[in-house]
């Protein structure tokens, strides 16, 4: 197995790096990658991004959103979280065998007198609390297994960033399963750092041949190819939001102008249909307004740009643009 040295904290680059070594870099040996992201929500391939995040909180706190290649639920990453990726060439032998990849993590924690166990479909827990979620992706004969390891993550931020108003949005996307979560550091000696844990984990991953750990530094060619995947895929709105399954959106608010209800159907991140209802008074038919909205991205910056060039009071009596904006976000 080869240990890929990756010092990037850019989530878009790091997921592109996974895809590069999985699909394009012909490594004859199995691969291990340990990596960290700056504050980020990573959503599963088949999830609806809008349905998984608290968008106001995420935007206010400048938390990245990125979609990964594998399925499963949304996870939160920060600098207290360590991610691990294993790419095996004989992938069919380990198809959906999550426990095989979890065992080195469990063994590593044993060294720190922490009793962890693989639980359920894809989680590793301590005292029944989840600290690691895992997922897999297959390409030809290879399997990519990756997982989160919460060592000292900010659980308050995690709970707020993934706290979504389920009454507004409904979709057919795969929904995350809420679990009780914890940090590894709550169970270890306080002198043990994330770096200590990372070094011990590498030894556990290479338990069969610790003396021949091979480190691989990214070349200029590697970085260039990974950056191209990053820029053309993982950092794009089309991949992260446009891939979201079809969904419906509904919100009611009461203003001095009256009650206004907004209903939309969104497909691939684009607004297919938009309707406004309520006991408000029209100035001009609201259908003229909704027709202007249809076909736009369901994206905050695009809606705000639209509201900068339209006067809502030309359609709904006494309703300001700022009030109308409250229906959207």
With a cut of 90, say whether residue 92 has pLDDT above it.
no
Q: Provide the pLDDT for residue 155.
A: 93
Q: Provide the pLDDT for residue 179.
A: 67
With a cut of 60, say whether residue 19 has pLDDT above it.
yes
Q: Provide the pLDDT for residue 213.
A: 77
Region 175-197 average pLDDT: 85
Q: Tens digits of per-residue pLDDT, 120-171?
A: 778 899 999 999 999 999 999 899 999 999 999 999 999 999 876 555 556 6
With a cut of 70, say whether residue 176 has pLDDT above it.
no
Region 111-120 average pLDDT: 90
| Integer Cα distance of 74 and 308 in angstroms | 33
CATH of 2-240, picked from 3.50.50.60, 3.30.930.10, 3.40.50.720, 3.90.950.10, is 3.30.930.10
Least trusted range by pLDDT, from 73-77, 148-152, 177-181, 246-250: 177-181
Region 214-237 average pLDDT: 96
Region 102-125 average pLDDT: 90
- Cα-Cα-Cα-Cα torsion 223, 226, 230, 233, nearest 10 degrees, comes to 160
Q: Provide the pLDDT for residue 137.
A: 93
Q: Provide the pLDDT for residue 210.
A: 57
With a cut of 70, say whether residue 174 has pLDDT above it.
no
Would you place residue 211 in the very low, low, confident or very high pLDDT band (cuts 50, 70, 90)? low
Residue 35: beta bridge partners?
Answer: 83
Instruction: Work out the mean pLDDT of the chain and round it to a whole number.
Output: 90
Please compute Rg for the chain using Cα positions.
23
With a cut of 80, say whether residue 212 has pLDDT above it.
no
Q: Provide the pLDDT for residue 96.
A: 74
Start and end residues for every CATH 3.30.930.10 domain found in the chain = 2-240
Q: Tens digits of per-residue pLDDT, 283-301?
A: 999 999 999 999 999 988 8
Q: Provide the pLDDT for residue 172.
A: 57
Q: Provide the pLDDT for residue 166.
A: 57
Start and end residues for every CATH 3.30.390.50 domain found in the chain = 247-325
Architecture of domain 247-325: 2-Layer Sandwich (3.30)
Q: Tens digits of per-residue pLDDT, 37-74?
A: 999 999 999 888 888 888 889 999 999 999 999 998 89
Q: Provide the pLDDT for residue 261.
A: 93
In this structure, which long-range contacts are made by residues 316-321, counting pairs with CB atoms below 8 Å and at least 24 apart in sequence? Answer: 316/257, 316/260, 316/276, 316/280, 316/281, 316/282, 316/283, 316/286, 316/289, 317/257, 317/280, 317/281, 317/282, 317/283, 318/255, 318/256, 318/257, 318/280, 318/281, 319/255, 319/257, 319/260, 319/280
| Integer Cα distance of 220 and 155 in angstroms | 37
Which pTM does this prediction carry? 0.84
């Amino acid at each position: 197995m080869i240990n890929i040295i990756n010092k990037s904290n850019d989530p878009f680059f790091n997921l592109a790096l996974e895809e590069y070594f999985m699909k394009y870099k012909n490594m004859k040996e199995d691969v291990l990658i340990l990596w960290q992201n700056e504050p980020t929500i990573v959503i599963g391939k088949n999830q609806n991004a809008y349905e998984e995040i608290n968008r106001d909180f995420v935007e206010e706190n400048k938390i990245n959103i990125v979609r990964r290649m594998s399925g499963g639920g949304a996870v939160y990453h920060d600098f207290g979280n360590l991610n691990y990726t294993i790419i095996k060439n004989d992938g069919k032998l380990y198809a959906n065998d999550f426990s095989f990849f979890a065992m080195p993590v469990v063994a590593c924690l044993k060294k720190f007198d922490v009793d962890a166990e693989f639980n359920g479909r894809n989680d590793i827990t301590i005292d029944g609390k989840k600290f690691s979620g895992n997922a897999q992706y297959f390409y030809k004969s290879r399997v990519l297994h990756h997982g989160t390891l919460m060592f000292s993550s900010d659980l308050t931020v995690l709970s707020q960033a993934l706290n979504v108003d389920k009454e507004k949005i409904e979709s057919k996307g795969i929904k995350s399963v809420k679990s009780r979560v914890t940090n590894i550091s709550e169970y270890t000696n306080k002198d043990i750092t994330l770096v200590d844990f990372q070094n011990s984990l590498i030894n556990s991953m290479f338990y069969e041949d610790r003396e021949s750990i091979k480190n691989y530094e990214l070349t200029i060619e590697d970085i260039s190819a990974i950056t191209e995947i990053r820029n053309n895929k993982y950092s794009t709105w089309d991949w992260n939001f446009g891939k979201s399954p079809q969904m419906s959106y509904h919100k009611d608010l009461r203003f001095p102008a009256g009650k206004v209800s907004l209903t939309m159907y969104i497909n691939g991140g684009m607004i297919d249909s938009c309707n406004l209802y309520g006991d408000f008074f029209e100035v001009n038919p609201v259908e003229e307004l909704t027709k202007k909205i249809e076909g736009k991205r369901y994206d905050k910056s695009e809606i705000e740009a639209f509201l900068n060039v339209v006067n809502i009071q030309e359609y709904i009596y006494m309703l300001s643009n700022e009030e109308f904006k409250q229906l959207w976000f």
